Amino acid sequence: LRTDLVISFSHPGLIVKENESLTLDCSANSYPSVSSFTWMKMIDGMMESTISTGTPFIVDSASVSDSGKYRCTATNKIGTGKSVQVEVKACITSLFLFSFLGYNFSFPLCIVISPHKYTNLSFYHRCKTVGEVYMDK
């Protein structure tokens, strides 16, 4: 299959906030024209698994488990072509609150974590820990 496959993404930087919609679109310039699109996702960093057919690929409410590497394949009567992989990161949004030197601080965070891993976040000011957050899977 002689084609250029292009994936477009609905969010800049390939980062989507938790509970927002995620849209990946795949387009191909080929002759003969493409008869089908398939979406693949890397599983455990090694194996690709088919997750959807057709284009675009839409997740109505993204979660951390939607983070990962995606690619589309396009098929016509001559053969199949694959796009390059794109990495999507879903982030958890929350308001981080902490006290330091008698003052209370709060600010919004968009935390990108890897699915299936434990995460420990530490916040520092002048080399001293001012806050920690521990998240399990």
**Is 74 found in the same domain as 16?**
yes
User: What is the percent of the chain with per-residue pLDDT over 70, rounded to a whole number?
Assistant: 56
**Is 123 found in the same domain as 84?**
no
**Is 105 found in the same domain as 69?**
no
Tell me how far apart the alpha carbons of residues 65 and 82 are, in angstroms, rounded to a whole number: 23
Each residue's pLDDT tens digit, 50-84: 888 888 899 999 888 888 888 888 888 888 888 88
The one-character DSSP state at 45 is: T
pLDDT value for 60: 92
| Neighbouring-strand partners of residue 127 | none
**Is 79 found in the same domain as 14?**
yes
Question: pTM for this one?
Answer: 0.67
Domain of 123 in residue numbering reads as: 93-135
**Is 109 found in the same domain as 42?**
no
| Neighbouring-strand partners of residue 71 | 40
**Is 71 found in the same domain as 40?**
yes
Each residue's pLDDT tens digit, 1-52: 455 556 666 655 677 888 888 888 888 888 888 899 999 998 777 777 888 8
pLDDT value for 1: 45
* C-alpha pair distances (Å), 48 with each of 12, 31, 119: 24, 26, 25
**Is 79 found in the same domain as 28?**
yes
pLDDT value for 117: 55
**Is 83 found in the same domain as 39?**
yes
Tell me how far apart the alpha carbons of residues 70 and 77 are, in angstroms, rounded to a whole number: 24
**Is 76 found in the same domain as 12?**
yes
Tell me how far apart the alpha carbons of residues 76 and 82 are, in angstroms, rounded to a whole number: 12
Residue that has been written with the tokens 């979660």 in this structure = 63
Tell me how far apart the alpha carbons of residues 87 and 68 are, in angstroms, rounded to a whole number: 5
**Is 99 found in the same domain as 71?**
no
**Is 78 found in the same domain as 33?**
yes
Residue that has been written with the tokens 């995606």 in this structure = 70
How many structural domains is the chain composed of?
A: 2
CATH of the domain at 60: 2.60.40.10
**Is 83 found in the same domain as 129?**
no
* b/e per residue 15-27 (b: at least 16 CB within 10 A): ebebeeebebebb
